[in-house]
Amino acid sequence: MTVRRLPALTAIALVLAQIAYPLTIGAARDRVTVVVVLLSVVTALAHARVTRGPRFAAGFLLIVSGIGLAAEIAGTTSGFPFGCYHYAHDRLGPAVADVPLLIALAWTGGLYPVWVVANRLGSVAAVRVPLTAAGAVGWDLFLDPQMVADGQWTWCSPHPGLPSWNAHRRRCTRVPGMVNNSMNPSPRVQKSTDAARSPVGIFTNAGIP
């Protein structure tokens, strides 16, 4: 197996894990959730490593998951900027300040494919950032009802409505600009390889459970 094929292989494993998600309940579903998030992160980082190099991959992980963890801690502690919510305890692994570390990793696994698609559609920041923000909002709006229904996190209001939408909008429109400022596209991107295609397939066909 060549390193260049790794993103495609982990993407296939991610899709299979997604299929398993609705077929499980309780603790088994929690384990599948962890596997899906980890596979999404591994696929994203493998693709970044192959197409842009190890420093880019490490930087993306540190910046996006670092911002994500800090934002989630601020959000669950103060209610700003996302609104009042909290995570379930002891379901998704180790936590920092009651925020599962898996959640911070999910920011990388979820936003990287969106960022790749935005970069394919737009060559300048004025196009990439809005596209990344729009894709990220869509990802979060897909994710939130599913995870709330599964009890992974809970909004303080039983009917969040507009506040919840504003939370999604604030959550997903600030990070893309930060990422864009820190991570400029590299000429090493190989559009013809399996590795380069796999994040697009993840974003359009899978997502995060």
| pLDDT, tens only, 95-115 | 999 999 999 999 999 999 999
What would the two tokens of residue 17 be?
């894990």
Mean pLDDT of the region 79-97: 89
Asked if residue 190 has pLDDT above 50, the reply is: no
Asked if residue 194 has pLDDT above 50, the reply is: no
Let me know how long the chain is: 209
What is residue 104's predicted lDDT score, i.e. its pLDDT?
Answer: 95
Contacts of 24 (CB under 8 A, 6+ apart): 31, 32
Residue 161 CB-density burial (10 A; 0-12 exposed, 13-18 middle, 19+ buried): exposed
Mean pLDDT of the region 72-96: 90
Query: Are 65 and 104 within 8 A, CB to CB?
Result: yes
What would the two tokens of residue 165 be?
């939408």
HSE on the CB side for 153, CA within 13 Å? 22
* Higher pLDDT pick, 171 / 67: 67
**Could you tell me what percent of the chain has a pLDDT over 70?**
75
Query: Are 117 and 139 within 8 A, CB to CB?
Result: no
What would the two tokens of residue 38 be?
């980890």
Asked if residue 63 has pLDDT above 70, the reply is: yes
What would the two tokens of residue 157 be?
């209001």
* Higher pLDDT pick, 145 / 176: 145
